[in-house]
Structure 1
């Protein structure tokens, strides 16, 4: 009967195993007290008190504020900018872009670099147009600092890096930025941001909300597909023991 229908997660059992394992590893790594006190960051002035004007100053503000929220301290991080966008010349020609042979866009939203000269985060200039994407990008790059810069892991792991940013409360930004379209004079370009699919991001957020007994009203912040996967995950958690 339909009322006996088994609750189902939006992710596979195999994905649940490694996500749970990585989240519990972060819980141990950060310490129980600190892990449990982290709040979900929302796109409100409670967290980012600023009127954004799409300039590099926005990125500088977001970097400083996000470092505070992610407990990144005692390190100087330089901020740099680069452009991977195609450039249309006055004669109508278009300079080369980072597209593959199928025309798919292959551009990094940001990069993290450590060297003898210090630590640097570079931001693709198109990110300045959208504060949500910019915050998602910077939180991901700072997660690299938490994992690699603080010697928690030896080899880069982009999935774990995304999970770390989400564990620090940035799931709304990362989830809503996962897939987007940006209009330009050259047509429509798809831009996937981040490494985890929406289903895993939503499940991770629900896992954290359940463990931390959060009261955040996600429905007012999540995109339609993200909300669907998040609600599905919460239904599963509410029907199972914590």
Structure 2
């Protein structure tokens, strides 16, 4: 799926109706029954300060998954509702949990289950969004999913210091790019036009 595939309208502002419609569309792409998914919301601004820190670094959950009353429940941070591309990536990650944990394909205690969840978003058609959300130059605090890696400086990630950066998700840009390259190989795509719209790190690894 790409921004041009109609997942969200140009006037998307993150109303509950728009968000639930977006969840339904991403469900269809990823092979999840939309009728089995319940959407809930939370505001990470309400979390206690201690909950936002781990090992001296800030962390902020922006998505959560669990099961209740026989349904998959994904919880989305209201603070991300106005950023449709990032919100789409968060939804894709949580629906990855639905496919993997909800279908008993993996166990939640598996060491790499969060990285595998990022990876499955690629092979279920949502890798463009999750790869682009993985690494952003921004002054806002960002996290991703149940236990985000938190704030990392660009020097820590790349050895340079051009400005503040944040890492979203559990795979690096390079790992997302490699996964997308494998995805393209499976699809017989050698130079997909959408690759030009990827963020530089993922695009370089894809090529």
> Shorter-chain TM-score category?
0.7 to 0.9
Three-state SS of the structure 2 residue aligned to 1:80 is strand
Conserved? CA contact 2:8–2:22, under 8 Å: no
Cα displacement (A) at 1:86: 6.7
1:228 matched residue in structure 2: 204
Change (3 A) 1:98 1:192: farther
Deviation at 1:72, TM superposition (A): 0.9
Please say if 1:159 is aligned against 2:115. Answer: yes
- 2:156 counterpart residue number: none
Supply the distance in 2 between the matched residues of 1:219 and 1:140 (Cα, whole angstroms): 20
* CA distance 1:115–1:189, change in 2 (3 Å): farther
Structure 2 CA distance, aligned partners of 1:117 and 1:111? 17
User: 1:74 & 1:173 partners in 2: Cα distance?
Assistant: 19
Partner of 1:54: 14
Name the CA distance, whole Å, in 2 between partners of 1:101 and 1:152.
29
1:120-174 CA distance string (max 9 Å, x none): 1000112112111111011111111111112222335111111111101211111
Equivalents in 1 of 2:99, 2:55: separation in Å? 35
Taking structure 2 as the reference length, the TM-score comes to: 0.76
SS at match of 1:137: helix
Shift of 1:97: 6.5
Contact 1:58–1:128 (8 Å) recurs in 2 = no
Which structure has the higher relative contact order (CA within 8 Å, separation 6+)? 1
Asked if the contact 2:62–2:80 (Cα under 8 Å) also holds between the matched residues in 1, the reply is: yes
Tell me by how many angstroms 1:99 deviates: 3.2
> Which whole-Å CA distance do the structure 2 matches of 1:101 and 1:72 have between them?
33
SS at match of 2:57: coil
Alignment of 1:78-93 (within 5 A): 78-85=38-45
* TM-score with structure 1 setting the length: 0.66
Cα drift, residue 222 of structure 1: 0.5
Q: Gaps spanning 5+ residues in structure 2: where?
A: 142-162
Deviations 1:54-90 (A, max 9, x none): 3233321110001111111275211111111379xxx
The one-character-per-residue Cα deviations of 1:9-47 (angstroms, maximum 9, x if unpaired) are: xxxxxxxxxxxxxxxxxxxxxxxxxxxxxxxx1111x24
